[in-house]
Amino acid sequence: MVTQSNLTAQQASELEKIQSFTGEYPRQLWHLFMIEMWERFCFYGMRGMLTVFMAEQLLLSDKDANLQYGAIQAFIYAFTFIGGLFADKILGLRKSLVWGAILMIAGGFLIAASPTRMFYWGICFSIVGTGFFKPNISSMVGQLYQEGDRRRDAGFSLFYAGINLGATLGGIVMTAVGLSYSWSLAFALVGVVMLISLLTFSLTKHTMGPIGLSPLTNSPVESNRRILEWATYAGSLAIIPLILVLVKNTAYTDMVMYTAGPLALLYVFYEMTKYDWAAVKRLWAAIIFIVFSVFFWAFFEQSGGSLALFARNNLEGSLLGMSIDPNVVNNSANSIFVILFAAPLGLVWLWLARRKLEPDSVVKFGLGFLILAAAFYLFYATIHFANANGMTSLHVFTLAYLVITFAELCLSPIGLSLMTKLSPQPMQGLMMGMWFLASAYGQYVAGLLGAGMSVANENASALEKLTSYTNGYQTLSMYALVLGILLIVISPLVRKLMGSVR
């Protein structure tokens, strides 16, 4: 993106006007809210369908479906690092977002043309597209605020509500359409809805001032910008066949995950040499948050893997006296709860901040892990409500999702905000990519954990599957508890690294 140092006087004035907004939220936030809402409709709608589709249509075993799910999700989030890097260096946030949307539209329509034959090709387009789209719209939200603006966390909480509104709609609509009507139509919705997202951005981008413009704008090498941009587009298309090979063979995922993270971290260390010690300390704090988030997402993302299969195999189809598909609950309950509680919780943070009582970001992270532990204990506790056939209560399962929602709200929107607060502006896309790269590792480990919980015998009874999964959830609960306590113990050190950032 364009940095403060190469803004024209007019662009600097436009940025100052945007960042000097009155009230709780800038109006541009609502535009980004809608753009991200539609993109998340597609992402979470597809995520909710993946393991079920692969088990029912591609005829994968539960174990292989979990491993394949982990590999796909890992690559999706891993490419956010690359997307953030190219946004910082060449495209800027805006063009990265547009290119990502175009690739995701192509991916959705490819799968819709022939779900079983074109599934992996379409997924690969979506992997690259999400990499360019996801980290950069979050970075644009961060640039709506001046450094030190205490309203930033509340803004990201509202933005997070938009993410989950889309996730709710996608989780309900796409799963219902795929399971009950047509998988082709369900995947075609990805293309249609991403067109809406792209159109929304096109109609509102003029309100963003200089936010998201190419970093080569007003720079000495601006004359080479088009060549570099087209090279980026061509390269991202050329790499898709390689991604196809890696995604279809989950054994390769291990190799990629063992190398991608360390190489990315080494590059971050190289970039850190360009800044003073105060900035470097803040970046170290960001890295600590990123490392802890890997564990959080490894547990949390059971929702798309083991919990989806748990819902299919072991949950009764009744909630509050109504008949309902448990997979619809699994795909949408968390998102509905986030919509209900994200903005109010953000306002609670503001209310506490005005009274100098708001917990700092480290404590919020620690609370997130402690609440996560409670949620997985509830997932484990469903075994105590099971009948002799291994079918258990959808009510307790839904309550666990209510609890896990507050864990997510203590960590994810705060993490997005922190990456923009702790990173120098020229590194914000890169560090947002690192945040999502941590999610890639979390998704990868989530697949391994889910596969480990699966009963090896595909003909096992529902009761055997219930016992296997709930024992796994009990173990995850204990690990989350330990990590939460550890983070709170080291919080004084992390606060020192953060400096004035809270």
Residue 102 confidence (pLDDT): 96
DSSP conformation letters of 375-386: HHHHHHHGGGG-
Whether 197 shows a pLDDT value over 90: the answer reads yes
Model pTM score: 0.74
Structure tokens at 489: 């113990």
Whether 308 shows a pLDDT value over 90: the answer reads no
Contact 407, 419 (CB under 8 A): no
* Identity of the residue numbered 166: G
Residue 6 confidence (pLDDT): 63
Residue 3 confidence (pLDDT): 55
Which is more confidently placed, 252 or 473? Answer: 473
Contact 347, 447 (CB under 8 A): no
State the average pLDDT over residues 355-380: 90
State the average pLDDT over residues 142-156: 81
Contact 39, 101 (CB under 8 A): yes
**pLDDT tens profile 243-282:** 998 888 877 777 777 887 888 889 889 999 998 898 899 9
State the average pLDDT over residues 318-345: 82
Binning pLDDT at 50, 70 and 90, where does residue 222 land?
A: low
**pLDDT tens profile 9-47:** 788 888 888 888 888 788 899 999 999 999 988 887 887
Residue that is written with structure tokens 């709506």 in the block: 144
Residues contacting residue 251 through CB under 8 Å, at least 6 positions apart: none
Whether 175 shows a pLDDT value over 90: the answer reads no
Whether 479 shows a pLDDT value over 90: the answer reads yes
Whether 4 shows a pLDDT value over 60: the answer reads no
In angstroms, the CA 483 to CA 498 distance is 20
Buried b (16+ CB within 10 A) or exposed e, 475-485: bbbebbbebbe
215 alpha-carbon distance from chain centroid? 25
State the average pLDDT over residues 343-347: 76
Binning pLDDT at 50, 70 and 90, where does residue 220 land?
A: low
DSSP conformation letters of 442-455: HHHHHHHHHHHHS-
Structure tokens at 314: 């072991």
> Rounded to the nearest 10 degrees, how much is the dihedral formed by the CA atoms of 227, 232, 237, 239?
130
DSSP conformation letters of 161-224: HHHHHHHHHHHHHHHHHHHHT-HHHHHHHHHHHHHHHHHHHHHHGGGGTTTT--TTTTSTTGGG
State the average pLDDT over residues 354-367: 84
Binning pLDDT at 50, 70 and 90, where does residue 394 land?
A: very high
Whether 500 shows a pLDDT value over 70: the answer reads yes
- 314-323 contacts at long range (C-beta below 8 A, 24 or more positions apart): 314/382, 314/386, 314/390, 314/391, 314/392, 314/462, 314/465, 314/466, 314/469, 315/391, 315/392, 315/393, 315/394, 315/397, 316/391, 316/392, 316/393, 316/394, 317/394, 318/394, 319/394, 319/395, 319/398, 320/395
Among 19-33, 133-147, 208-222, the range scoring the smallest mean pLDDT is 208-222
Whether 2 shows a pLDDT value over 60: the answer reads no
Residue 218 confidence (pLDDT): 65
- Please report, rounded to a whole number, the percentage of residues in the chain having pLDDT higher than 70: 96
Among 4-8, 11-15, 347-351, the range scoring the smallest mean pLDDT is 4-8
Among 254-258, 318-322, 473-477, 488-492, the range scoring the smallest mean pLDDT is 254-258
- The values of phi and psi at residue 493, to 5°, are -65, -45
State the average pLDDT over residues 84-101: 88
Whether 285 shows a pLDDT value over 80: the answer reads yes
Residue 196 confidence (pLDDT): 95
Chain mean pLDDT for the chain: 85
- Which residue ranges form the domains of the chain, and what is each CATH number? 24-498 (1.20.1250.20)
